[in-house]
Structure formats: structure tokens, C-alpha cells
A and B are shown apart, each in its own frame.
Chain A
């Protein structure tokens, strides 16, 4: 498939604007069509499921209804949005009574012709690592990074259908493809506390510092994520003098593709990744490329 429907989600319109920009740039560079779903609504994550289980399914169901006539796979960059839409699709697909209820609330007929897929999987498995490899002009040599998935992309596995929930490999395979050094660690799917970042900041901060400490211990210089809630939490709640840069995986793709717009993404970070990229000799070349 060479065309997808795109659901950016609310974070990509604000705190994760560089994620949105890098997603669009990378798809264009790979010559894969990405069509933003018109009129999409917020999926309600992560509040609706604490208040009303039907609302938590009905909000994403409206987006599935909008995506049905188009028929392309529905791509979700945000792990929380992916989790909510995939949960709604799972219920609609496997629970006839719930489907009836949701169809009545949203006012549509479920056809089940749209696959809800996380962006990381679409790029590595759908578009494919080979096509990505062909596009790399600036291998990210000597950049040592850990791949970080967090929670909602992988769990619960019967809903997400994501590869090995305790030890996923897609991010490392992608980093290898980009020429970076993917470092193994034991915390790739541990929670960063993103859901508690605003309401219990001190708890989130302890979880973040533990992750960063473990990444450093493994020899990494950066953490690479696909989730906007993890990314901002890891940047905002990180303590200490020497802070570790947190990249979106699409930013590193854009950098290794030599895209000139990559330059505009770094300034959006709360932890400036430019000193690290300069040290690795990756910055000036990207601008020239």
C-alpha cells in the first residue's frame, strides 16, 4: 500500500509539533501518500476511560466512521491515540452487543475495513526497512541510542497486536537501518509516568529519572521514542545538569535522509539536541544535505 489516512491527534497540533512536521516530511521523502483525516476529533485519552467506558470507545469510533469510506489503513503517531482507537476497533470487531451500542451512540455502521496501525509499524513493516535504507544519505554513525516504546503502543498485547510486548525489536531495527548504534537495555517498555506528569509531577519525575539513568548506564547518549506523551514527559521532568536528548524516531529518519527542514525541529525541544548532534558531526552535514 502506498497511501494512508493520517490521524495526528491533539498533541501533534501543539506540544509535539516537531513530531507532526517530521512525520509529514519523512512520508514525502519516501514518496508515500499521507492524507490527514478531515474533521477528526480527540480520542479522549487518557481521561475518558477513567470516567465512562462507553465514551472512551465512542470518541475513537467516530474517527473510525470517518475513515471507513476512504478505506486506507489509519496511521496513528501517538501511542495513546493508537491504543484508544485500537481498543474501540477491537470491541467493534469482536463484541456484537457493544458494536450495536456504539453504532447507536455514534450513528454509523461499522464495516471493519480500516486497519488501525501505529506509525512505527507502518514505516518499518508497511513501507519497509529496505526502502528506508535506500533513502539514507547521512548514516547516524557513532550515535548511541536506546529505543523506547513505553506502554500504550505495546500493551495490552491482545488489543495492540504489537510484536513481542516484553521485548519489541522494531525500533532497534530501524536505528540500525539509519546507521545508528542501537543499544540494548531492559527498560524499553517500562512506564515513564506520562499520564501522571501534570497531576502527580513528583511521581512522574522519579520514573523519568530512573529511565534516563538506566539508558545512560547502558551506554546511550539519547532516547528515541514514538510517543508524544513520553517525549514531553521525558524532557520536562528530567532532572540533573547533563540532560539526555529525547528524539522522535521520525526526526532521526529525516536527519539521516538529509532533509533540510530537520533544522527547524531541534529548536522545538525543551532539551536541545544540537550539542550532541554537533559532537557527532551530524548537524552541519544535514544542513548542507
Chain B
């Protein structure tokens, strides 16, 4: 079996072993104050193979995917992609996510897109509120948006929604079959 760092390097297509912990990522991270570890310690923990601690951490769900860290990394590690890989691993490992609402939101959002071909805010928000039992949050601004005609009740759908559904099915099959192939940039390294 591959070690955890190799697994995550393959899944994220990022050279995680190159990190020498200059902390530039953490210095520029907009959400580091909310995090338990911060991006550079996350990378260190991946290097050390601390799988359970990482997948249980709230940090992987707090990452805003703003790409500031990767843009500034002297070793060209796209750290947001490592965070993506950790979230994927957490979802498929069955470990309860430290931020369950984020995981629920992703699932619902993709379910709506798979069904309609496009997103539909009203369905998505109602389902999300019911599932998270957070019914009262944002009622005020939600109502305002509705009254301004910005959350249409009826979804727009497309004729090609079967094609979109097939893309979901085939992408899931390809993911299950094996990891995505490495990029030329990664091979060059």
C-alpha cells in the first residue's frame, strides 16, 4: 500500500514532498485565524502521514480555495488542490467531517446540477436548510432576495440534462477506476 503522502500527491497532482516550510502560505492565508493548524502544518502532517488527524480536522473544510497560498509558494505547490484531495479523501473514507454543513452543501449542490443541468438557488437553499436544521439563519436577507425577484421558484433546466447526468456517472466511474493521470508539469519535476 502506498504511504499517505504519495496517495495525496497523486490525487492532488502536487509535489507535496517539496514543501520546506517557509510558512509563506500560512502568512497569506485569509482564514488561518479560524484554523486549528494552518496550511503549512497541514502539509507537514501529510508528509508525516497523519491521516486520521488530517481527515478529522476542520481546517480542510475552512479552506476558502482562494489560491493565495499556491500562487505564492516558492515550490509551486498548489495547496488548494491538496485541500481538495483531503476533502475528497475525507468524504470517501466515511470519517465524519468536522464541518458537516460544508459536506452537505456540496452534496446537495451537485445533486441539483446533476438533476437540472443548472443550479437552482431556491431548491438548494430550502433543501440545505432542512438538512442542516438551520431554518432561521439568513431568513431576513433570503426574504429580501426573494422579494426582489432574485430567487426564482421555478428552475430553469436544459434539454441536454441527460448528457450532464452522463458526465456525472462517467466521472464517478473514472474516479473509482483509478487516480487521474499525472500532469506533464508534475512529471517534469
User: What is A's interface to B at a CB cutoff of 8 Å?
Assistant: 10, 13-15, 17, 39-42, 44, 46-55, 58-59, 62, 91, 94-95, 97-98, 101, 104-107, 151-152, 155-157, 165, 189-191, 193-196, 198-201, 203, 206-207, 236, 267-268, 270
Contact = CB atoms under 8 A, between A and B. Distances in A.
Interface in B65-95: 65-68, 70-71, 78, 84, 87-88, 91
A155 B149 CA distance: 32
A51 B170 contact: no
Contacts of B137: 201
Given A105-B171, A200-B99, A155 B67 contact: yes
B66 A155 contact: yes
Interface in B91-123: 91, 99, 101-102, 105-107, 109-110, 113, 117-121
Nearest to B124: A198
A256 B170 CA distance: 48
Contacts of B168: 55
Given A47-B109, A59-B113, A91-B183, 20 more contacts: A14-B121, A14-B150, A15-B145, A39-B158, A41-B118, A49-B84, A52-B88, A52-B175, A55-B167, A101-B181, A104-B170, A155-B70, A156-B71, A194-B64, A196-B62, A199-B99, A199-B102, A199-B105, A200-B62, A270-B145
Interface residues of B, number: 64
Closest 5 CB pairs of A and B: A191-B66, A155-B67, A55-B171, A10-B119, A151-B66
A163 B79 CA distance: 22
B138 A236 contact: yes
Contacts, number: 175
B151 interface: yes
A152 B171 CA distance: 24
Interface string B118-135: 111100010010000000
10 contacts: A13-B118, A44-B110, A50-B88, A52-B175, A155-B68, A155-B70, A195-B65, A198-B105, A200-B99, A236-B138
Nearest to B174: A54
B70 to A, nearest CB: 5
B17 interface: no
Given A58-B171, A270-B141, A42 B118 contact: yes
Q: Interface on chain B toward A: helix, strand, loop, or mixed SS?
A: helix
Contacts of B11: 53
B171 A50 contact: no
A49 B148 CA distance: 31
A265 B120 CA distance: 22
Contact of A203 (B31, B149, B150, B181): B31
Contacts of A267: 148
Contact of A101 (B61, B120, B150, B180): B180
A51 B160 contact: no
A193 B64 contact: yes
Contacts of A46: 65
Contacts of A151: 64-68
B87 A50 contact: yes
B184 to A, nearest CB: 6
A39 B168 CA distance: 17
Contacts of B163: 62, 107
B14 to A, nearest CB: 11
Contacts of B88: 50-53
A29 B152 CA distance: 28
Nearest to A61: B167
B116 to A, nearest CB: 8
